[in-house]
Structure 1
């Protein structure tokens, strides 16, 4: 999918928000991507998930997993497109775990998906979880890569769109210095 088409859909669905945001990575930004707005529309969920699934065509995948909350619907829909199981990992005592009877068997080939990747923190936690359970992570997929090419997961990393959006450490944030109120829209520590 062309970047212009992705941005057109994002604009239509009001995915891109401007302000002063605390990202789940702990960084600050003047832009927040609320990809949950995509998932309220099954047709857009299917379009983006199919696009992501296509990027891993030819890989043998047994399971697709995503971190809660942003990766739940994406994992399900990508798994549906591929025809495999979907799982999600969630935090318990601030540690990513499989709950609800979910399991990964030793040797299962796992695709990790997330809606937006900035620092890759949640994805790295899920990768560690999968490996600790004996699964083999074969790739990482995301709708939006806003990492600016700074992340190496050690496996193929594919995105539908790459966006260069500035992020700041709290101490260096010009929005903080201007006194603009900070908003925490993400799901971490819910």
Structure 2
């Protein structure tokens, strides 16, 4: 019952705060009649709490060792997961993938506890359109020899991203789809 309440509460929050129904050009270059900015919810205390609850529910029993994603959409989601994963006894490493490796310091592309070859990893993001952000994160962790178990996104715009990832052997589990919001 709690999971259903969390999903409904998150859906209402996303619908009222993260969606703008207006013409917009997306990062993929496509035009759309709506814009989704998940950070408006994932960076709010209530939104972060609900997202962490739902994603931790989706991770239980998956034998996952690390969760992360491409900066910026994944950053607040990853940060929200830490306390809830700890509370539940989920032993997870959390990480953020930079769009490109740093040119100074450690010159890393992936920040956080070092990922190890063979680790089972889940990639998270706020939205998937063509899959570009998730694909970059998948490629970065695969280069380290990690196994990408699946990708979890808050909203699947249903515009080809899931299919692009499935062609790479990555299952996508959206919390919601655009259709859930009547889009």
> What TM-score comes out, normalization by structure 1 length?
0.74
Contact 1:90 1:98 in 2 (8 A): yes
CA drift of 1:11 comes to 3.6
Contact 2:98 2:111 in 1 (8 A): no
Task: Say which structure is richer in strand.
Answer: 1
Q: 1:162 to 1:106 in 2, by over 3 A?
A: same
- For structure 2, the residue ranges without an aligned partner over 5 or more in a row are 87-91, 102-107
> Of 50, 55, 66, which residue of structure 2 is paired with 1:63?
66
Greater relative contact order structure (CA < 8 Å, 6+ sep): 1
> Which secondary structure state, in structure 2, belongs to the residue aligned with residue 92 of structure 1?
coil
User: How many Å separate the matches in 1 of 2:9 and 2:112?
Assistant: 39
Report the count of equivalent residues: 163
CA RMSD, Structure 1 to Structure 2 (Å): 2.6
User: How many Å separate the matches in 2 of 1:101 and 1:51?
Assistant: 23
**What residue in structure 2 maps to residue 128 of structure 1?**
139
> What TM-score comes out, normalization by structure 2 length?
0.77
User: How many Å separate the matches in 1 of 2:112 and 2:65?
Assistant: 17
User: How many Å separate the matches in 2 of 1:43 and 1:5?
Assistant: 9
Q: 1:111 to 1:79 in 2, by over 3 A?
A: farther
**What residue in structure 2 maps to residue 154 of structure 1?**
169
> Which secondary structure state, in structure 1, belongs to the residue aligned with residue 49 of structure 2?
helix
Moved over 3 A (4+): 1-7, 99-102, 164-167
Task: Say which structure is richer in helix.
Answer: 2
